[in-house]
Amino acid sequence: MPLPTAVIAIGKVVGAVAGPFILSKILPKVVDEVSDAATKSHERRQTWIKVPNVIGAKLCDAQSSITTIGLNSLPIEVKPRKNYKEHKADTVIKSSHKADIKVDPTTTINLYYITQEVINESKRLAENHEISKANYKNERQRMIEKLRQHTKNSLQGVSIKKKKTSD
């Protein structure tokens, strides 16, 4: 739906009057504020710290590496999972921040580590998973064999007559 002529006329008048004011008074202030904010952000980023790679390191060594460069660390014990069965105890298996990225000095790096108890429980979970897979496979095979036998028994009384073809 087109705009009414009166609305267009008002817009033109306001634009003609406000345009020079916006360009001369408001726009320079906005540009200065944006420029100041960008400068402050750039200066703050100059103090940012590169995160070290601590994956696979002993927890105490990883914490030391993090605190030595000026960051905070928070150790978090992982919960057992079947894919954790091969890890070494008291090692960092993941981190909240990727290695080699730069972060603000106030950042806390979460260090997810594994204990021997978690490894033992993870092994138990993996073994149970393998047993469940084997049981499922055996049950599926048993059902296939039962279906095969049922089909064979059902077809024993059925005779198939061939249709005679005429030459």
What pLDDT digit, counting tens, does each position of 90-130 carry? 999 999 999 999 999 999 999 999 999 999 999 999 999 99
Task: For residue 144, give its domain range.
Answer: 38-149
Mean pLDDT, rounded, of the chain? 84
Residue 13 clears pLDDT 90, i.e. is over it: no
Least confident piece of the model among 27-31, 32-36, 70-74, 120-124: 27-31
Determine, yes or no, domain membership for 56: yes
C-alpha distances out from residue 67 to 49, 100, 110, Å: 11, 16, 12
Read off the CATH number of the domain in which 128 is found. 3.30.10.20
Q: Cα-flanking dihedrals φ and ψ of residue 68, to 5°? A: -60, -35
Domain count, the chain: 1
